[in-house]
Amino acid sequence: MLLLVPDGPYLVKGTRFNSKAFATIFRSKDLRSASFGYFGHMWELYTVWAFIPLLLTHYAAKNNQPLNVSWWSFSFIAAGALGCAGGAIDLAVDYANERTQFGKPIGDYQMIQSSIAELVAEHHAAQLLVYRAAFLKDQGKPNQFETSIAKYYSAEAAVHATNEVMKIYGSWGFSTEYPIERYFRDAKSYQVVEGTSNIQKTIIAGVALGNTPNR
């Protein structure tokens, strides 16, 4: 697991990299597998996107190991999408249990239950895809195909989850009093950064049709 420990001034959006801010890297047995997630603040997302590949590349050079940064990037963006979707689902569950309408929690209504069940199932499927891609990477096996599937599906699931949760919140979903409006906007970024969803589909189709090897 890769742990980034702040050891100096925090980065804020738009600032240059301060080497003291992320100076400490802990290594537990092997740094081929890294854990990444969703923080919910754009400057923190900006920091992760900008400097995780830099740190991984530094580690690879120091230990004389080759590293394909692009597939690492796909993996941690997929993991971030997982966190975004999972956080949105947690918000939906809490709100569905708290919000009452016609004398009972809205979570008692079948339409809300249907939406939450659908999102939970998609989230669990995305988890398995991301974990499979990470496992193959850990084992040093070809994983381009699996990583693109994980990145594509987790990004789409995050957008779907946040969109549906916005509906559950109703007009309150657009208010900054609730965090789901930020999740909704952030989720769209996962369809764009480190290879758009359309690019992932091109990669997936290329391997599936036998036109591209699974590296």
- Which two tokens mark 182? 């930020």
181 annotated active-site: no
Residue the block writes with tokens 């809205």: 106
- Which two tokens mark 52? 């995780």
- Catalytic entry in 122, 146, 164, 194: 194
- Which two tokens mark 61? 């050079």
Q: Which residues contact 24 (CB under 8 A, 6 or more apart)?
A: 3, 4, 5, 7
Burial class of 74 by CB neighbour count within 10 A (0 to 12, 13 to 18, 19+): buried
Burial class of 94 by CB neighbour count within 10 A (0 to 12, 13 to 18, 19+): exposed
What are the DSSP E strand ranges found in 64-119?
Answer: 100-101, 104-105
Residue type for position 39? F
How many other CB atoms are found less than 10 A from the CB of residue 83? Answer: 17
How many other CB atoms are found less than 10 A from the CB of residue 201? Answer: 13
What are the DSSP E strand ranges found in the chain?
Answer: 2-6, 22-27, 100-101, 104-105
Tell me which residues are annotated as active site.
194
